[in-house]
Amino acid sequence: MRKVLSILWIAIVFLVGCSHANTQLELDHRGYVIEKNLEYTSSQDEDAVVKNIILLIGDGMGANQVEVARQILLQEDEGFDFDKAEYKAEVITSCLDNYVTDSAAAATAFATGVKTNYETVGKDKDGNDLKTILDYAKEAGMKTGIITDKGLNDATPAAFSVHLNNRYLLQDTIPTQQIESGIDIFIGGGAATYIDYEEAIKAEGYDFITTKEGLFSTKADRILATYSSGRLMNHTTDVPTLAEMTNKAINVLAKNKKGFFLMVEAGQIDNRCGEGNIKEMAKSVQELDKALRVALNFARSNQETLVVVLADHETGGLILGDGEPDISWFTEETRYHTPVNVPLYAYGTRSSFFANKIIDNTEVFEILMEFLKLR
């Protein structure tokens, strides 16, 4: 009898272990996670608790990028979850010393609430370190995570985790600053850089992961997973998708009773606009859309989660022309950033706050801080 019980116990432990480790997504034919929780009952009351925030950033994603992607994807019978936004707003993008911002200063505004200079991450104009929303969240016992499909040392993830007067100078200090930041999860590109820091990463208690399977199977609560040698994560079957990375992070972070803050960047929209490649740009928007579906699925079952999608700036001066979209639809001479306002989409708890507002990029920080009752 004792033997039977112990076998039964081993079987139970094994099954629980497997279900915990199994973070594979159930996908439909288009690669979208199959939605399980369609009922929204998230509260819009002023005193409603926002326990978790998932902030998704489309790098270079102006309103026209979203519209062109919508037209292309719907024509191809693909899904598009931006349309499910409950409330929409506009964000003013300029940085302190330039009307046209770069990704670093823009992400610093979201992360810290302070307008800073072009190419600066996590510091003010005088070079002082700025406290990020992740720092405040950690102090309140929340868990934190950063995801990108560019390098983890690129501008947006850096603005949420390090402090540098210029994102291109002292770049080799970015991994060191990140692993000493206390942030629980980093998933993104830049493996060629981060592999050199493997020992230091492990010494800080992170599970250092370089394979897709490793990410799916790890049971660690602190993860630094990194892929692809170049600046952009290659979208091959060997690396996780933005949606898979988002799903894994949510599974780990949501175990925390005091909530979490997760930033997810779809970084390649900016690059595809820079190349003038509209079809690939639409695919990059779709990667963000698939990650959004994962976030919404969680938000609906959790009911204490706010999901916000926005952009740091527009790239390329994209217009909506007639007929087939092509490179001539990008009107900015060098297909670089432009200063137009960018769209913000909000879903879930307290999302109605954003309805029809025009907000500065620094106000995003203030609003999210207030929702999380971090001050």
- The residues that touch Zn ion, with contacts defined as CB under 5 A, are 59, 103, 270, 312
Q: Are 189 and 149 in contact (CB under 8 A)?
A: yes
The CB-of-168 to Zn ion minimum distance in angstroms stands at 14
| Residue number with CB closer to Zn ion (289 or 312) | 312
Q: Which residue, judged by CB position, is nearest to Zn ion in the bound state?
A: 103
| Residue number with CB closer to Zn ion (42 or 94) | 94
| Residue number with CB closer to Zn ion (159 or 215) | 159
| Residue number with CB closer to Zn ion (59 or 78) | 59
The CB-of-119 to Zn ion minimum distance in angstroms stands at 11
The CB-of-195 to Zn ion minimum distance in angstroms stands at 26
Q: Measure the CA–CA gap between 148 and 151, rounded to whole angstroms.
A: 7
| Residue number with CB closer to Zn ion (233 or 299) | 233
| Residue number with CB closer to Zn ion (59 or 135) | 59
**Of 341, 242, 281, nearest in space to 67 by CA:** 281
**Of 369, 286, 338, nearest in space to 66 by CA:** 286
The CB-of-101 to Zn ion minimum distance in angstroms stands at 8
| Residue number with CB closer to Zn ion (103 or 341) | 103
CA angle 114, 111, 97 (to 5 degrees): 35
The CB-of-104 to Zn ion minimum distance in angstroms stands at 8
**Of 170, 369, 351, 186, nearest in space to 263 by CA:** 186
Name the CA radius of gyration of the chain, rounded: 20
Main-chain phi, psi angles of 14, to 5 degrees? -65, -45
Residues 6+ apart with CB under 8 A from 8: none
Distances (CA, A) of 322 to 141, 279, 283, 293, 335: 52, 16, 20, 30, 20
| Residue number with CB closer to Zn ion (65 or 103) | 103
**Of 235, 237, 244, 236, nearest in space to 225 by CA:** 244
HSE (CB half, 13 Å, CA atoms) of 182? 13
The CB-of-338 to Zn ion minimum distance in angstroms stands at 11
Q: Are 74 and 286 in contact (CB under 8 A)?
A: no
Main-chain phi, psi angles of 266, to 5 degrees? -95, 95
Q: Are 62 and 317 in contact (CB under 8 A)?
A: no
The CB-of-176 to Zn ion minimum distance in angstroms stands at 24
The CB-of-265 to Zn ion minimum distance in angstroms stands at 9
Would you give the distance in Å from CA 232 to the centre of its chain? 15
CA angle 280, 67, 262 (to 5 degrees): 75
| Residue number with CB closer to Zn ion (149 or 312) | 312
The CB-of-164 to Zn ion minimum distance in angstroms stands at 16
